[in-house]
């Protein structure tokens, strides 16, 4: 019988809470495969997807590759874990002229032959049936895996497809992603989701300084993220008034510092209102003036009671770009529409601002009123996906 054999990674580190994580993972797999015909069952250390339509196998694999917490998977054949039945299956393998290696793994210790011995025996069977093939233990062209599980089934396959790893979505709470139109913030959201964190997203726009297209771009980015996180709530807030006020009243080199502090305050309030436990940004240390240690200290200092997560902090741009390509956001991110941060951009932003200087600039503004105004005009968009992880 054709099956998909799924392996999960770190979950076994979770001790007594393990079943909570496993249930979440199963739940997320079912959600991701919603609309497909399939069954899923569990045997210690593996999940097995069965009864699916074979012509949908490629799509199923693509979907499963987006489920966080799965480590790898293999399309496999399931046979009874009986020595003769496995040998019979192996005797039909064709790898004429190729080098090969047999890997046997025996989770079921009651299976009568040791893994090493059985691998050797199966290797001989392959050799007998493929006269010109030969064993290569180090760099085989053809790999034959036999995984003997405690459910008295053996799974035979020839490839291991890497999945995302990480932790099941939802197992690390829910945050708020500050989503710009750039490359880094969608990647930041993806990375936190891979660690099990769900999120809602917040975007600031500066209409009419920024166009409708800039907003559409962010909606498209959010849509791409839904492939991983399911339905996604996007909060959209107008930042025009804030920027005009800062531009009018503060020193231009502090424009970005003060803007970021107000963004953080708004984000903090939205987290409070919607019960979100962290702010997520795409900042990367030293990438631009607003992302130095000092700048992050000054912008972070206005946030109360919750952490700011910056999963791209220690990554090079190249690495971030690679991830953004792999999650399909890159082509959208590089579309050339202005972001609100590029409007009123000062020529020489401060690189090492202090909290004292920031407070000094903010006395010319009615910060609380500006934050309130942003919140009053908040618009909420539900960006829908093929599946919903929130139920
Ligand atoms: P990105 O590629 O994510 O835009 P960036 O390298 O362009 O990052 P900045 O523009 O300095 O960096 O923004 C730093 C972070 O601040 C972003 O990663 C994002 O989390 C947040 N941010 C910036 N602009 C906005 C915006 N208009 N709306 C929401 N969040 C924003
Ligand atoms: Mg940006």
Give the residue whose CA is nearest to atom 8 of ligand 1: 184
Residue showing tokens 């010109």:
132
334 alpha carbon, closest ligand:
1
Tokens representing 23 are 């249930």
Report the share of the chain in percent with pLDDT over 70.
97
pLDDT in tens, 83-115: 999 999 999 999 989 999 999 999 999 999 999
* CA 48 – CA 153 distance, rounded (Å): 11
* CA 374 – CA 183 distance, rounded (Å): 25
pLDDT in tens, 118-142: 999 999 999 999 989 999 999 999 9
User: By mean pLDDT, which of 13-27, 203-217, 224-238, 268-282 is the weakest?
Assistant: 13-27
Domain range list for the chain: 2-162, 174-383
Give the residue whose CA is nearest to atom 26 of ligand 1: 180
Residue 370 sits at φ, ψ, to 5 deg, of -65, -40
Q: Is any ligand 1 atom within 6 A of the Cβ of residue 297? A: no
Q: How many CB atoms lie within 10 A of CB 85?
A: 12
Residues contacting 69, CB < 8 A, separation 6+: 8, 9, 10, 11, 21, 24, 25, 28, 164, 165, 166, 167, 168, 169, 171, 196
With contact defined as beta carbons under 8 Å apart, do 178 and 306 qualify?
no
pLDDT confidence of 386, banded at 50, 70, 90? confident
User: Could you tell me which of 295, 300, 245 has the C-alpha nearest to residue 268?
Assistant: 300
Q: Is any ligand 1 atom within 6 A of the Cβ of residue 243? A: no
Q: What is the CATH number of domain 2-162?
A: 3.30.2130.30
Q: Is any ligand 1 atom within 6 A of the Cβ of residue 182? A: yes
User: Could you tell me which of 284, 279, 282, 281 has the C-alpha nearest to residue 314?
Assistant: 284
Domain topology for 174-383: Rossmann fold (3.40.50)
Q: Is any ligand 1 atom within 6 A of the Cβ of residue 282? A: yes
């Amino acid at each position: 019988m054709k099956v998909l054999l799924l392996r999960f990674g770190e979950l076994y580190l979770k001790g007594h809470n393990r079943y909570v994580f496993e249930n979440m993972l199963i739940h997320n797999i079912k959600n991701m495969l919603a609309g497909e015909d399939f069954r899923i069952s569990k045997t210690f250390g593996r999940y097995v997807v069965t009864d699916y339509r074979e012509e949908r196998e490629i799509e199923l694999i693509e979907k499963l590759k987006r489920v966080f917490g799965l480590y790898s998977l293999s399309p496999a054949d399931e046979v009874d874990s009986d020595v003769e039945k496995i040998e019979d299956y192996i005797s039909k393998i064709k790898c004429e002229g190729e080098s090969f290696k047999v890997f046997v793994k025996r989770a079921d210790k009651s299976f009568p032959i040791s893994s090493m011995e059985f691998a050797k025996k199966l290797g001989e069977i392959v050799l007998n049936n493929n006269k010109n093939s030969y064993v290569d233990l180090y760099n085989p062209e053809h790999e034959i895996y036999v995984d003997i599980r405690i459910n008295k089934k053996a799974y035979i396959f020839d490839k291991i497809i890497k999945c995302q790893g990480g932790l099941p979505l939802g197992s690390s709470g829910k945050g708020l992603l500050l989503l710009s139109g750039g490359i880094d913030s969608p990647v930041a959201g993806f990375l936190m989701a891979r660690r099990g964190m769900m999120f809602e997203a917040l975007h600031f726009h500066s209409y009419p300084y920024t166009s409708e297209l800039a907003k559409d771009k962010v909606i498209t980015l959010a849509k791409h993220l839904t492939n991983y996180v399911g339905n996604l709530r996007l909060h959209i807030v107008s930042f025009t008034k804030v920027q005009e006020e800062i531009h009018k009243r503060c020193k231009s080199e502090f424009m970005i510092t003060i803007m970021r502090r107000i963004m953080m305050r708004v984000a903090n309030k939205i987290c409070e209102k919607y019960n979100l436990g962290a702010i997520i940004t795409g900042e990367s240390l030293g990438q631009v003036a607003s992302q130095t240690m000092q700048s992050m200290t000054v912008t972070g200092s206005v946030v109360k009671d919750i952490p700011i997560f910056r999963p791209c902090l220690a990554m090079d741009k190249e690495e971030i770009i690679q991830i953004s390509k792999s999650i399909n956001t890159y082509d959208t991110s590089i579309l050339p529409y202005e972001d609100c941060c590029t409007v009123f951009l000062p020529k020489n932003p401060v690189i090492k601002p202090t909290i004292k200087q920031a407070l000094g600039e903010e006395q010319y503004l009615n910060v609380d009123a500006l934050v309130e105004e942003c919140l009053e005009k908040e618009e909420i968009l539900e960006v829908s996906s093929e599946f919903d992880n929130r139920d």
